[in-house]
Amino acid sequence: MIYALVDQETLQKKGVSLQDLLSSIRSLPIPILQYRNKNGSLSEQKEALIQIRNHYDGKVIINDKIELIDLADGLHLGQEDIRCYSDDKVKAIAIIRERIRRKTVGLSTHNAAEIVEANRLDVDYIGLGAYRPTGTKRDAKVMGTSLLEIAKLSKHPVAIIGGVLLEDTFEPPIQYKVIGSGLYNAIVH
């Protein structure tokens, strides 16, 4: 299944409006969409989430901003972000669950140790990457097909990320293929 990663910075770099992207992906089977905006204000992100809600019917995940959880179906956190709640990740997830209840929680992972650690956590899925090189996260460690093997360590569904193409196919536990830049390429000629 496609997990759309809508990154505001990438939209701006590619000269694509959020509205244009949402219109162009309407025909794709996308059950889950994550909105990421690392630099925008909360009010800008709120406006974007409202726009997404008005034009997209699937599950909406907000990246990092628990303050906006009322406008989303879930929250995705990176390894650094989860530590803002507690250095003990079990406690961190308990704090997050207290705030968001049974909404979806996703956690980024990058290696076998982080997957094994995530297996102890009350998360709904893990993000795992990078699969291939990508222009959006140049510092990401590219693991290629070895990523497919370490994904098998996860007891949670896996969302594989990093240079993933629409035509890629994966075996369980990889449930989602996270498509970011690939979504924009169809719009930008």
Residue 62: domain span: 2-185
pLDDT, tens digit, 9 for 90 and up, residues 173-186: 999 999 998 887 76
| pTM (predicted TM-score) | 0.94
What's the pLDDT tens digit per position in 116-154? 999 999 999 999 999 998 776 666 788 888 999 999 999
Long-range contacts of 84-90 (CB under 8 A, 24+ apart): 89/117, 89/120, 89/121, 90/120, 90/121
CATH code at position 26? 3.20.20.70
Domain count, the chain: 1
Helix (H, G, I), strand (E, B) or coil at 118: helix
List of the chain residues with pLDDT < 50:
189
Nearest Cα neighbor of 132 from 112, 119, 148 is: 148
